[in-house]
Amino acid sequence: MTEAPGNSFEQRLAKERVSLQRDTTNTLQINTGLLCDLRCRHCHLSAGPGRKEVMSLKTMEQVIAYAKRNRFATIDITGGAPELIPHIEQLIASLAPLTQRLMLRTNLTALSQPGKDQLLNLFVAHRVVLIASFPSTNEGQLSAQRGGGVMEPSLKMLKRFNELGYGIEGSGLELDLVANPSGAFMPTGQEAAERKFKKDLARKWDLHFNNLFIFANMPLGRFADWLESSGNLDAYVEKLQAGFNASTLDGLMCRSLVSVAWDGSLYDCDFNQAANILLGGKPTHISELDGRPERGTAIAVGEHCFACTAGSGFT
Ligand code: SF4
């Protein structure tokens, strides 16, 4: 879905007499593809088993060449499940020396598959920051979002991370968790939720992590389909619009990030990938871009941007 100019988010920015422009682009986000072992209800990219859209070795090499040309402070590898993408080890090993902070998003279960020890060792060797999706400490809520049988391998992998030093004070290995509401409602306060997660995980399973981030679900992809089929779409979108908070604009990730899709095409963020809203409104391949997107250029937005600016925001 390509948003026409004048969508309601643009109109809201105009009404508030504010605009959304790039600051310095210091983060390169790499979406390695839509292949995943899970089919989560909240997935804005509708990733899942059998998806064929995965980054080729050639595109990886073009991404690495771009990262060499530009030296981003942070590189953020996401998916789908990046752990399942062929040549992911090569991508990690090549990018690690090029940045101060290499992050990888994991759904936990993909890493629990056999044959992933080499990848785990690579994370430790390069001090990769792991961002693990773990929507809830409640098994019923977790299963509702991610499918049955997900809790046990997720806990097993968190345990393994802790054994490797991830999430353990003084180890220098950072493990953060990401949670999101299980239905058509807004997230609770982050600090209180982090305290509760830390307490629950330590008490029930002796598990530890560094930070918890809680995000609103994007009305895109599979989550939009679920909202529609459950009759919640209009009410959810209205809730996001009503929660618009202009003070979130300065901290939005799209101001400092460029996002490259599995096929090398560029976007202002991963959500715009799902909405097919291209960087600068025109197709650009990573091999064609020399520098970073320029400071002061307008960010392409759509209706889904209300999910980033509702309440305390999505940064
Ligand atoms: S979805 Fe969020 S991060 Fe992406 S362009 Fe819109 S406001 Fe920015």
175 Cα to the center of ligand 1, angstroms: 25
Q: Are residues 184 and 232 in contact, defined by beta-carbon separation less than 8 angstroms?
A: yes
Element (H, E) at 28: strand 27-31
* Per-residue model confidence (pLDDT) at position 185: 84
* Per-residue model confidence (pLDDT) at position 12: 95
All residues at 6 or more sequence positions from 133 whose CB lies less than 8 Å from its CB, including other chains: 40, 105, 106, 107, 108, 177, 178, 179
272 lines ligand 1 (CB under 6 A): yes
145 Cα to the center of ligand 1, angstroms: 23
Q: Are residues 131 and 103 in contact, defined by beta-carbon separation less than 8 angstroms?
A: yes
Burial (0-12, 13-18, 19+ Cβ within 10 Å), 83: buried
Nearest residue by C-alpha to atom 6 in ligand 1: 305
Successive 10-residue mean pLDDT values, the chain, 315 residues: 68 93 97 96 94 98 97 97 97 98 97 94 98 92 89 96 97 96 84 94 97 93 95 95 94 97 97 94 93 95 95 63
Helix ranges (DSSP H) in the chain: 8-15, 57-70, 88-95, 117-125, 139-146, 151-164, 190-205, 221-229, 233-242, 270-275, 306-309
306 Cα to the center of ligand 1, angstroms: 8
Distance between CA atoms of 229 and 116, rounded to whole angstroms?
37
* Per-residue model confidence (pLDDT) at position 304: 95
149 Cα to the center of ligand 1, angstroms: 33
The pair of structure tokens assigned to 54 is: 């995965």
308 lines ligand 1 (CB under 6 A): yes
* Per-residue model confidence (pLDDT) at position 313: 60
Distance between CA atoms of 307 and 285, rounded to whole angstroms?
27
Nearest residue by C-alpha to atom 4 in ligand 1: 269
The pair of structure tokens assigned to 224 is: 């939009």
Nearest residue by C-alpha to atom 5 in ligand 1: 301
| Count of all residues that appear for the chain in the document | 315
305 lines ligand 1 (CB under 6 A): yes
Domains of the chain, residue spans: 24-223+254-299
* Per-residue model confidence (pLDDT) at position 145: 87
* Per-residue model confidence (pLDDT) at position 1: 47
What CATH code would you report for 24-223+254-299? 3.20.20.70
